[in-house]
Structure 1
Amino acid sequence: MFSLPSARSLLATCRPPTSLFGHSPAPVAPLTLPFVFARFRSQLAPRRVKYIKRHKGVLPIPTGGATKGTTLAFGEYGIRVKGNGQRITAKQLETVEEMLKKKLKPIKGAKVYMRIFPDIPVCIKGNETRMGKGKGSFEYWATRVAPGRVLFEIGGVPIREELAREALRLANAKLPTINEFITRSSPARLGNLLLTPEPPVQAAAAAISP
């Protein structure tokens, strides 16, 4: 009685095709899946975090007298938070950075410096959802900025102040905070208070007087 060969015997008899010289062709790389687009995916995201969900937290308020991050460090012009602090999303920072680079593209060597980075995960639950049953799912990355914090700087090469003001004005329109234009000579800011430097003559007189 005629019987069909089994699958194991068929695999044993099958051999890869050989070329004219008797050598087997090079192995073909396996097919890879195409890139899957993720919702609210942005290039501004931390590489690694321990926990993807975190408490909401509060906005930082500089009450201890520290002025770090309120003056320029890399560029010649920049924008600084003038009003209350707020939470800025990664999408907003990415939009502002692309807009500044496009505006400064004719100037060869101009650079854009981002002084903040979105490293806080924001989780959101659906509308009209009952209380309980855990925290919402991850939505996007964000960062909290305090009053007086420098957000963006431009520099690298000499840039006319008129062009810098126009570029940073467009950047200010895409941010949710109230900002101000600053230069290298701008004083530090402690919250909403400007720290004007004391003149050297008065400082020396105060040190000499008993």
Structure 2
Amino acid sequence: MLQPKRTKYRKPHRVSYEGKAKGNKYVAFGEFGLMSTKGAWLSDRQIESARIAISKCLGKTGKMWIRIFPHMSLTKKPLEVRMGSGKGSPEKWVAVVKKGTIMFEVANIPEEMMRQALTRAGHKLSVTWKIVKRGELPND
């Protein structure tokens, strides 16, 4: 699974996924990209399953870029523990995805296969999405 090698803080504050993306808003490397249309936290497991779905469609000639990374840890307290006594221990890693963020990009295969690969990957994610083409500016 994806997770950072080290972080400055073990238990960060929860970052909001509301609002529009500041960067990472256009297809920079590939020909087609998967763009989020709502904000959410995507777990490392969701990103990994989407990566596997895309790589199975791509074959050896296709190329893929993952534009998001799970930097933030979500904490959870154990079951049946009383209130207080500090924050829980880190449970999983999530990527903060805002509206308009490009999450995955693909290139070097026919357009039909690229759309199919991105559609399969999108179904693995807990965020609404759309497929965008390079050079196409999204309507906000």
| Fold match by TM threshold 0.5 | yes
Residue number among 169, 178, 196 corresponding to 2:119 in the alignment: 169
Unmatched 5+ residue regions in structure 2?
A: none
| Larger CA Rg, structure 1 vs 2 | 1
Q: Partner amino acid for 2:65?
A: Y
The alignment's TM-score, normalised by the length of structure 1, stands at 0.62
> Who is 1:133 aligned against?
85
Shift of 1:168: 0.9
After superposition, residues 1-210 of structure 1 pair within 5 angstroms as: 42=1, 44-62=2-20, 66=22, 68-82=23-37, 84-105=38-59, 108-155=60-107, 157=108, 159-188=109-138, 193=140
Q: How big is the alpha-carbon RMSD for the aligned residues of Structure 1 and Structure 2?
A: 1.7
Distance 1:62 1:77 in 2: 20
Shift of 1:116: 0.7
Shift of 1:148: 0.5
String of CA shifts for 1:144-190, please: whole Å, max 9, x gaps.
Answer: 111000000001x2x2111111111111110000000111132145x
Aligned length: 140
Unmatched 5+ residue regions in structure 1?
A: 1-41, 194-210
Greater strand fraction, Structure 1 or Structure 2: 2
Match of 2:30, SS?
coil
**Relative contact order, higher structure (CA 8 A, sep 6+):** 2
Distance 1:45 1:166 in 2: 27
